A = this chain, B = another copy of it.
Amino acid sequence: MIRVLLYGLGPIGVMMARQLAARDGFRVVGAVDVDPAKVGRDVGALVGLPRPLHVKVSPDARNTLKQTKPDIVVLCTSSSINAVMPQIEDVLKARVPLVTTTEELSYPVRKHAALAKRIDGMAKRAKVAVLSTGVNPGFVMDALPIALTAASERVESVTVHRVQDARSRRLPFQQKIGAGLTPEQFAREASRGTIRHVGFAESITMIADALGWQLDRITDDVKPKISATAVASEYLAVDPGFVAGIIQDGVGYRHGTPIITLHMEAYLGAPESYDSVHIEGVPKIDMKIVGGMPGDIATVSVVLNSIPKVLASAPGLQSMRSLPLPSYFAGR
């Protein structure tokens, strides 16, 4: 049994709790969230399980770490390294390994090099490993295309598409992609950074490092998908001329040429959901995941399946590139 402390019980944290309860090999031994509406409640009841988990949500991470002595912390509180820094410090001071969904920590990029180095140092001193992962960043737009290049004699460029019909996703996701907004509202939110997939710079840097490519620059541009027709999900209706979702392009340039292209479309009414990887080179490689890799459930799975690899890993800040081949974990 791997004893897990869940840190953060937002939408993804709730799914973590449910999947942990459903799977062999894991036991939730602690839960931390600062939301007063959650503090004191049993995790099982909070996440809608039919039975209690006999673990109460605590607002105090240090105390819960000390009392529960978990094998690992699963942290789902923020995309931002700055925001999670004090939380990670608490976990590493308690010498507990950590897996987090913090997108900005999925791979060290120049902008966050100092913070990543600091976390790496703290983890090494605590003699534990830290990993940030999920379906994206962490898998479909970085680890998977990197793995495919193992069959290449020469790689000229890597292009990854992730297209999702957002109708089947949860409401917070639909809101996060701007569905239902006017184009003006979308532009305002996008310029504030509230509508944006976080992780393209990290995925592009991971691919570039794996391929030994020195990039000149990375661009990351968001634009709205304007609906031509009326489209609706369970939660939202979008009239023609309004925003159905997001189109985002991340591009890594070398010698002025686009060499890594990540293209994402997530909007209500996308005709086909899929992920694809095209590797231009020798040989040409064309991979497609028909129907697409689902978002939330795959994020939760990638995180939980990584736990045994993090526990077995050398101390320090790891990435999906440094750990052994990703795989399902069936319990031990």
Q: Is the CB of A150 within 8 A of B328?
A: yes
Contact of A325 among B135, B302, B305, B320 (CB under 8 A): B320
A330 with B211, Cβ < 8 A, contacts A139-B151, A151-B302, A153-B300 known:
yes
Per-residue CB proximity of A164-188 to B under 8 Å, as 1/0?
0000000000000000000000000
In the assembled complex, the Cα of A328 lies from the Cα of B210 at a distance in Å of: 7
In the assembled complex, the Cα of A271 lies from the Cα of B29 at a distance in Å of: 55
Those of A266-302 within 8 Å (CB) of chain B = 282-291, 293-294, 297-298, 300-302
A22 at the interface (CB under 8 A from B): yes
A146 at the interface (CB under 8 A from B): yes
Residues of the B chain whose Cβ atoms lie less than 8 Å from the Cβ of A324: 321-325
A152 at the interface (CB under 8 A from B): yes
A327 at the interface (CB under 8 A from B): yes
Residues of the B chain whose Cβ atoms lie less than 8 Å from the Cβ of A46: none
Residues of the B chain whose Cβ atoms lie less than 8 Å from the Cβ of A282: 297
A227 at the interface (CB under 8 A from B): no
In the assembled complex, the Cα of A151 lies from the Cα of B326 at a distance in Å of: 9
Nearest Cβ on chain B to A314's Cβ, whole angstroms = 11
In the assembled complex, the Cα of A135 lies from the Cα of B306 at a distance in Å of: 25
Q: Is the CB of A283 within 8 A of B305?
A: no
A331 at the interface (CB under 8 A from B): yes
The count of identical subunits is: 2
Per-residue CB proximity of A94-108 to B under 8 Å, as 1/0?
000000000000000
Task: Kindly name the residue among A146, A153, A325 whose own CB sees the greatest number of chain B CB atoms within 10 A.
Answer: A325
In the assembled complex, the Cα of A148 lies from the Cα of B19 at a distance in Å of: 18
A152 with B283, Cβ < 8 A, contacts A144-B147, A146-B327, A328-B210 known:
no
In the assembled complex, the Cα of A287 lies from the Cα of B275 at a distance in Å of: 9
Contact of A302 among B23, B150, B286, B329 (CB under 8 A): B150
Residues of the B chain whose Cβ atoms lie less than 8 Å from the Cβ of A321: 324-325, 327
A143 at the interface (CB under 8 A from B): yes
Contact of A287 among B287, B322, B328 (CB under 8 A): B287
Per-residue CB proximity of A22-58 to B under 8 Å, as 1/0?
1100000000000000000000000000000000000
Residues of the B chain whose Cβ atoms lie less than 8 Å from the Cβ of A144: 147-148
Q: Is the CB of A139 within 8 A of B143?
A: no
Q: Is the CB of B285 within 8 A of A286?
A: no
* Closest B residue, CB atoms, query A155: B328
In the assembled complex, the Cα of A325 lies from the Cα of B89 at a distance in Å of: 28
A332 at the interface (CB under 8 A from B): yes
* Closest B residue, CB atoms, query A134: B151
Q: Is the CB of B293 within 8 A of A326?
A: no
In the assembled complex, the Cα of A46 lies from the Cα of B244 at a distance in Å of: 61
In the assembled complex, the Cα of A282 lies from the Cα of B300 at a distance in Å of: 12
Q: Is the CB of A289 within 8 A of B289?
A: no
Chain A interface (Cβ < 8 Å from any Cβ of B): 19, 22-23, 135, 139-140, 143-144, 146-155, 210-213, 282-291, 293-294, 297-298, 300-302, 305-306, 320-332
14 cross-chain CB contacts under 8 A: A147-B147, A147-B327, A149-B328, A150-B327, A151-B293, A153-B297, A155-B330, A211-B330, A286-B289, A286-B290, A321-B324, A321-B325, A322-B324, A325-B325
